[in-house]
Structure formats: structure tokens, C-alpha cells
């Protein structure tokens, strides 16, 4: 009976799981690129990467935090 309920709720056939995994990997790649750009002194590229992260994952607080820190560092208030 439990398996029937799970199938009826869509737990086993949810397309969001694959989409979420794709967005997670994209966010992780963008984060690595942003940190690399920061380490190389390329604030503009890092800002663009953080903005792309926010477009994919708008609830990701660390992206907003890092973006804000870059704006502050660049005195871009």
C-alpha cells in the first residue's frame, strides 16, 4: 500500500530531481569559477558568476553574501 501512495504522489517519477541535480552542478561550477576569478583579482568576472548563480538558485544566501562582499570591496555601493 505504501508503494502505491508514493507512486500516486509522484515521488518516484518527479522530473524535478534531475533538474535540481543539473542546477546544483551548474551552481557548484559557477562557484568554483567565481572563487577562481576572485583569487586572480578579476572582480568583474566573479560578480558575473555570482549573478549567474543567483539566476539559477535565487535562494542561495552565500551567492548574495559573496556578491555583496565584492561590491563592498570594489566600493560599488
Helix, strand, coil share (%) of the chain residues, nearest 5 = 75, 0, 25
Q: Give how far Cα 72 sits from Cα of 28, 53, 64, 75, Å.
A: 23, 19, 12, 5
Q: What is the pLDDT along the chain (77 residues), one digit of tens a residue?
A: 544 444 444 444 444 445 566 789 999 999 999 999 999 999 999 999 999 999 999 999 999 999 999 999 999 98
Please report the pLDDT score of residue 21 as a whole number.
62
Q: Walk me through the domains of the chain, giving residue ranges and CATH numbers.
A: 20-73 (1.25.40)
Global confidence as pTM: 0.72
Amino acid at each position: 500500500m505504501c508503494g502505491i501512495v508514493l507512486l500516486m504522489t509522484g515521488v518516484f517519477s518527479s522530473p524535478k530531481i534531475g533538474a535540481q541535480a543539473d542546477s546544483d552542478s551548474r551552481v557548484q561550477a559557477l562557484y568554483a569559477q567565481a572563487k577562481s576569478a576572485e583569487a586572480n583579482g578579476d572582480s568583474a568576472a566573479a560578480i558575473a558568476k555570482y549573478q549567474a548563480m543567483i539566476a539559477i538558485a535565487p535562494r542561495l544566501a552565500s551567492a548574495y553574501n559573496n556578491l555583496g562582499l565584492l561590491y563592498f570591496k570594489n566600493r560599488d555601493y
